[in-house]
Chains A and B, each alone.
Chain A
Amino acid sequence: MSKLQNALVGGVRTVLEHIPAAWLPGASPDHLAERRVALGTQQPRIDGPEKVRGMARFAAEVPMDELLHAAFVHSTIARGTIVELDIAAAEAAPGVGLVMTHRNAPKMKVPPSIGLTSMKAAGNHTLPIMQDAEIRWNGQVVAVILAETREQADHAASLVNVLYDAAPSRTRFEEGKANARTPHSIQMDQNRLEKGNATKKLAQAAVSIDATYSTPWESHNPIEPHAATIAWEGEKLIVHDATQMIHGTVGSLAKVFGIKDDDVFVSSPFVGGGFGAKGLWDHQILGAAAAKLTGRPVRIRLSRESMHRLVGGRTQTEQRVALGADADGKLKALLHHGYATKPRHSITDEAFSQTGRSLYACESFDVVQHYVDLDLLANSFMRAPGEAPGTFAIECAMDELAHALNMDPVELRRRNVATCDPVSGAPHSQSDMMAAYDMGAERIGWDRRSPEPRTRSEGEWLIGMGCATGTFPFLRMPGTAARITVDATGHAHVASAAHEMGMGTATVQRQHAADRLGLPLDSVSVTIGDSTLPYGALAGGSSQTASLGAAISAASDKLAEQLLRLAGNDTPLAGLKPGEVEFADGGLRKIDDPSRHETFASILGRASQAEVSVTGESKAPMEMLKFSMHSTSAVFCELRVSEVTGEIRIDRLVGAFDCGRILNAQTATSQFKGGMIMGLGMALTEETLLDERSGRIMSTSLAEYHVPVHLDVPDIDVLWTDIPDPRTPMGARGIGEIGTTGVAAAVANAVFNATGVRVRDLPITLDKLDLG
């Protein structure tokens, strides 16, 4: 966020330009990118039977004796002070065990901010939590009720009377733009990127477009509500949570309550959908505080309303994109300027301004992002933060440019393929966007598209096709650790505090460990999901597979060393160094000499050891600074728009992905489709409705916040290039978020093709389609 950070990151990148790639992680391609047995095959989820039986236990389902249930009272103003807080009736209500307000809440520190302070930080905002009478957003918790049943708690919450002295508040985006701030850097990159004279080149370009796009506040709305079952055992805090950041929650709760990390236990083996929402918010902290006051365990399960009032979402953006090109469609200028709401107490960035920096070759850039500071709930990461709104603006603009050039939109992308990072010049680790475009175009039958808008129809339905590029950066988190334990039967067990929110984490890493260790799948088991296991970084940024993959790979190197030491001299492996052996056939063997082989069981048996256990970790991801590492996709959409009502029906959706190697065809397909369906929601229905007068969110249920339902979702085709990335574990890049990117633009572009109407404001609801 600072000039200092710009200098540091810039300095490291400059140094890395002079360091040979061979010295960095991923110096030689992971042999598992090519030599695959279990990896790359379709494997059913190992937790499938538990999930379809309803036996997978989620956070709100952990049984505990003497449990109290929590309900919240939310503020109804955005700024001001509590002047009267009458809790007498609530305290007297049946079953109530505690009413906690700022008057009796324990002293709690602000949790350390995610991503800035330490690898064990998870705080999403910097505001004090129930420490004073001040109100800082509409929806802040002003009272926590604990009662014997949830119904009793909800009833008592309705009896709390609060009087506020309201202060002026800033809750209007338009007004906030006037005082927007411009940070020096956003995430890892300098904010305001100027390369060449983009303004001049735009003016001189043969063809140009200049338009403003807007995307609304959106909410994750996982089907499992946020929940935690919390108990104190003396000074030890036990939290059964629904979280995608187990160790971040440990470290943060320890700081909040002034206890040691080791005294916090967090368990989260199953998460009922996360998408960025399942982090540390006020509810776990308030639940733990209330449990401390009563001395009884507490279950907090957020209502849909509380989810909207307490858990931040994807923030509102407004983006101007101006593109200039020569008559052949070669980009001369890319300007991407815009605003996103980010209250000063917010931690996470909606870095839409990253998108245009990596996608296309272009002679000049002018990119800058401003933050609008409002008195609202902190915003947060939501599936593909930055790139989801960023690709909507950039990729609609590319479609507008193609139309202005009278050029096929796929051809426009082909003419602007970047052969290296367009801004820094750093080499790609691997990138083949056009391979994805060619696969996708063939699958959907792109040649059926009419270049002229509003020329295809069937009855009342106008028919159109559109395409867009999706993109998401590669990310590998340092520190993620995995323990491999091999027992005397030759069975390997992998353990890490990783997260399962539906990605198939254990399923895929079991395939990985089997291939890594030369074992059949049924000789490998994987345990994830609680804080007693080796450190796991957050499941976010599509990074978990690469991070845990790197950790397992590092652990396997240590395992080879340990086994050679144990094997001693009376072995076919005698005298061999770790670099001379490989895992195969349930043991180690000399590379290129299969006759010199010994099994794990034989080595351990001779050494009279019951097991050998090693831990390895994901090292500093220097490759991310040396190389330009981005996945890309080509999204194609065919749809119908009713000329009578303006309703949009998606008929087909095709996503072709260039994401490195695919590790499990079944779980990968589901990840891609899931992302794309969230993109459909972004395109057509999703919007968190804010009353800008009061700063109050109005759409606090699934009846008002519209996620795609079965009838909205067509058959989706998913394809992939499967080209290995030579710089990543297993040759793979993350796939959890890219699916969401590009979809809204592909839909908007198809709507334009069908109707001739360009909607630049999401979601594309029928009131915005004037079909005249």
Chain B
Amino acid sequence: MPISINGADYPLPDDPRVSLLDLLREREGLTGTKLGCNQGACGACTVLLDGERVLSCLTLAVQAEGREVVTIEGLTGDGEELHPLQQAFIDHDGFQCGYCTPGQICSAIAMAQELRRGDPSHVTADLASGPNGPTREEIRERMSGNLCRCGAHNGIVEAIEVLLAGEAA
């Protein structure tokens, strides 16, 4: 079965050792997904796999067989209009150089869903009842796998709060 990437079907790579990141960047020219460390330490390569965030450098492309991959390029479709979180990143200056940005955005979209589901995190006080709303501490803990070296952390958290507030409304 092929891999669906942003709604289009792509064949599995001939070599089963190809990472999802290399499939995207090197073979299909989808360079919006960034390579920062290739070791699962920085989060720059985060994409959505069936709606969940994964580090594409630590995911084999064959693991995505028959599943839906959404990358930063897939958030806007063909239109000019930005995803609300992309716009919020601009409004709150949630980036400087822009290199970690696609990973931050993909990660935050899935994180919002984890919060909605009530998944607990390391800073959740009561694991049974789940997170006590989208506090800044919950957002920060859950986004800590996405490194930013320019220091746009405050703006990223503010942008994510806009997304969460929009969903709650």
Contact = CB atoms under 8 A, between A and B. Distances in A.
Nearest to B75: A53
Nearest to B105: A52
A594 interface: no
A162 interface: no
23 contacts: A44-B90, A45-B90, A50-B98, A52-B90, A53-B72, A53-B76, A54-B73, A57-B31, A223-B99, A223-B148, A224-B97, A224-B99, A272-B97, A273-B97, A273-B99, A501-B96, A502-B98, A502-B150, A503-B96, A674-B151, A702-B147, A710-B143, A710-B146
Q: Is the interface of A mostly helix, strand, loop or mixed?
A: loop
B131 interface: no
Nearest to A739: B151
B151 A670 contact: yes
Contacts of B123: 711
B37 interface: yes
Contacts of B155: 670
A419 B140 CA distance: 43
Interface of B: 17, 22, 25-26, 29, 31-39, 41-42, 44, 71-73, 75-76, 82, 86-87, 89-91, 93, 95-102, 105, 123, 136-137, 139-141, 143-157
Contact of B99 (A44, A50, A272): A272
B39 to A, nearest CB: 6
A469 interface: no
Contacts of B39: 304, 701-703
A44 B141 contact: no
Nearest to A678: B151
Nearest to A57: B31
Nearest to B92: A666
Contacts of B42: 223, 702
Interface string A207-225: 0000000000000111111
B93 A674 contact: no
Interface stretch (A2-10, A58-66, A173-181, A288-296): A58-66
B108 to A, nearest CB: 11
A729 to B, nearest CB: 22
Contact of A709 (B29, B73, B144): B144
B154 A45 contact: no
A709 B75 CA distance: 25
Nearest to A224: B99
Contacts of B95: 48, 51-52, 502
Contacts of A50: 98
Interface in A655-672: 666-667, 669-671
Given A49-B90, A51-B98, A303 B44 contact: no
Contacts of B17: 151
Given A224-B97, A671-B96, 17 more contacts: A51-B95, A53-B76, A54-B73, A56-B98, A60-B35, A151-B17, A222-B99, A223-B99, A670-B93, A674-B152, A702-B41, A707-B147, A708-B153, A709-B144, A710-B139, A711-B144, A712-B144
A80 B136 CA distance: 53
A703 B145 CA distance: 11
B65 to A, nearest CB: 20
**Which 8 interchain pairs have the tightest Cβ spacing?**
A54-B32, A502-B96, A51-B98, A674-B151, A272-B99, A677-B151, A502-B97, A54-B72
Given A54-B73, A60-B35, A273-B99, A710 B151 contact: no
A710 B141 contact: yes
A70 to B, nearest CB: 14
A707 B149 contact: yes
Contacts of A500: 97
Given A673-B151, A702-B147, A222 B97 contact: yes
A442 interface: no
A673 B36 contact: no
Given A304-B39, A702-B37, A702-B147, A716 B154 contact: yes
Nearest to A61: B31
Contacts of B140: 710-711, 713
Contact of A676 (B32, B44, B151): B151
Contacts of A502: 95-98, 150
Interface string A249-283: 00000000000000000000011111100000000
A52 B155 CA distance: 13
A223 B31 contact: no
Contacts of B145: 709
Nearest to A704: B41
Contacts of B146: 710
A358 B8 CA distance: 61
B82 A221 contact: no
A727 interface: no
A45 B93 CA distance: 8
Nearest to B76: A53
B20 to A, nearest CB: 14
A162 B59 CA distance: 33
Residue with the greatest number of chain B CB neighbours at <10 A, chosen from A61, A674, A716: A674
B147 A270 contact: no
A44 B159 CA distance: 14
- Determine which residue in A220, A273, A504, A677 has the highest number of CB atoms from chain B within 10 A of its CB, and name it: A273
A675 interface: yes
A677 B101 CA distance: 17
A223 B153 contact: no
Contacts of B29: 63
Contacts of B100: 223
Contact of A674 (B44, B144, B150): B150
A53 B86 contact: yes
A54 B71 contact: yes
Contacts of A592: none
A47 interface: yes
Contacts of B87: 52
A248 B105 CA distance: 35
B31 A54 contact: yes
- Which of A49, A53, A222, A504 gathers most chain B CB within 10 Å? A53
Contact of B36 (A48, A151, A224): A224
Nearest to B80: A49
Contacts of B44: 223
A644 interface: no
A47 B98 contact: yes
B4 to A, nearest CB: 18
Given A54-B71, A711-B140, A713-B153, A271 B97 contact: yes
A273 B141 contact: no
A709 B153 CA distance: 8
Contacts of A56: 98
Given A223-B100, A710-B156, A711-B141, A44 B32 contact: no
A730 B121 CA distance: 48
